[in-house]
């Protein structure tokens, strides 16, 4: 009995196979923010939150560590966390220094609310090579991407429909049988003057022109087709 396992997430290799793309293609989609990778970590990570700052007339927000009485707040997430704020090192090489409990963090909000839009500072930056080893992609996000992505093409449009060879009709079959039968009769009576196709066609027409399919025009079509078929067999 076959068992179909409905997964909540798949890994890097499985996603490449699902979409029939190269690792470099998936690197590109990640770097462009088209698909958000996640990780499951056993490490404790420092928790950060947004703080409002003033610089002259300008207000800006920055991620700062959450500090309580015991010092910096650290958590070990028991759930997948999504990698955020990608840093591009080159065309296909990126690093992540931050993660969030949500795939799409909202606008900066001041204060730390455990379990809601939580920011984590990664202990070590995660590279694309790391993602190939332990990165995961949530199935809900994959389904959403496939439903709306401009990268997904209709396979029916990009795959040409293979030509279907039609079966021989009654008249065509009868014509071929007549040609084969006439040539068998010729083989029984070998004679000079049959050095080329034209001579054979003349003889066939002279002796069997009353038979369906044996005409100069039809034989001039069928002989080249027969030769191509024989060479391709």
Question: What pLDDT, in 10s, does the model give residues 69-124?
Answer: 667 788 888 889 999 988 887 766 789 999 998 888 866 666 655 556 788 999 99
Residue 194, classed as helix, strand or coil, is coil
Nearest 5°: phi and psi at 213? 95, -15
State the pLDDT at residue 78.
Answer: 82
Task: Name the residue among 42, 10, 5 with its Cα closest to residue 26.
Answer: 10
Query: For 151-192, how does the pLDDT look when each residue is reduced to its tens digit (9 = 90+)?
Result: 666 544 555 556 566 777 788 888 889 999 988 988 888 888
Distance of CA 189 to the CA centre of its chain: 62
Two structure tokens written together for 151: 């990268």
Q: CA-to-CA distance for 24 and 21, rounded, in angstroms?
A: 8
**Are the C-beta atoms of 35 and 137 separated by less than 8 Å?**
yes
Q: What is the DSSP letter of 142?
A: H
Q: CA-to-CA distance for 195 and 111, rounded, in angstroms?
A: 98
Mean pLDDT across the chain: 83
State the pLDDT at residue 50.
Answer: 79
Higher local confidence (pLDDT), 54 or 165:
54
State the pLDDT at residue 160.
Answer: 57
- Give the chain's radius of gyration (CA, Å): 36
**Paired strand residues for 82:** 38, 100
Q: How confident is the model at residue 36 (pLDDT cuts 50, 70, 90)?
A: very high
Question: Average pLDDT for residues 205-225, to the nearest whole number?
Answer: 88
Two structure tokens written together for 218: 């039809």
Q: CA-to-CA distance for 41 and 134, rounded, in angstroms?
A: 9
Higher local confidence (pLDDT), 56 or 116:
56
Range from 6-15, 61-70, 139-148, 175-184 carrying the lowest mean pLDDT: 61-70
State the pLDDT at residue 156.
Answer: 46
């Amino acid at each position: 009995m076959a068992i179909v396992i409905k997964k909540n997430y798949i890994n890097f290799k499985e996603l490449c196979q699902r979409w029939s793309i190269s690792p470099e293609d998936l690197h590109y989609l990640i770097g462009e923010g088209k698909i958000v990778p996640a990780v499951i970590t056993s490490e404790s990570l420092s928790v950060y939150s947004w703080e409002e700052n003033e610089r002259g007339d300008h207000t800006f927000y920055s991620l700062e560590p959450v500090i309580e009485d015991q010092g910096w707040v650290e958590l070990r997430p028991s759930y997948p966390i999504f990698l955020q704020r990608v840093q591009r090192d080159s065309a296909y090489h990126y690093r992540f220094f931050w993660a969030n409990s949500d795939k799409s963090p909202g606008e900066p909000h001041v204060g730390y609310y455990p379990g809601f839009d939580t920011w984590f500072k990664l202990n070590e930056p995660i590279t694309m090579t790391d993602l190939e080893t332990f990165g995961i992609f949530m199935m809900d996000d994959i389904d959403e991407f496939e439903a709306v992505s401009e990268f997904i093409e209709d396979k029916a449009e990009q795959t040409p429909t293979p030509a279907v060879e039609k079966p021989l009709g009654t008249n065509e079959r009868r014509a071929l049988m007549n040609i084969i039968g006439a040539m068998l009769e010729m083989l029984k009576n070998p004679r000079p003057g049959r050095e080329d196709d034209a001579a054979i066609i003349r003889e066939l027409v002279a002796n069997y022109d009353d038979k369906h399919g044996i005409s100069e025009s039809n034989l001039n079509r069928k002989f080249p087709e027969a030769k191509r078929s024989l060479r391709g067999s």
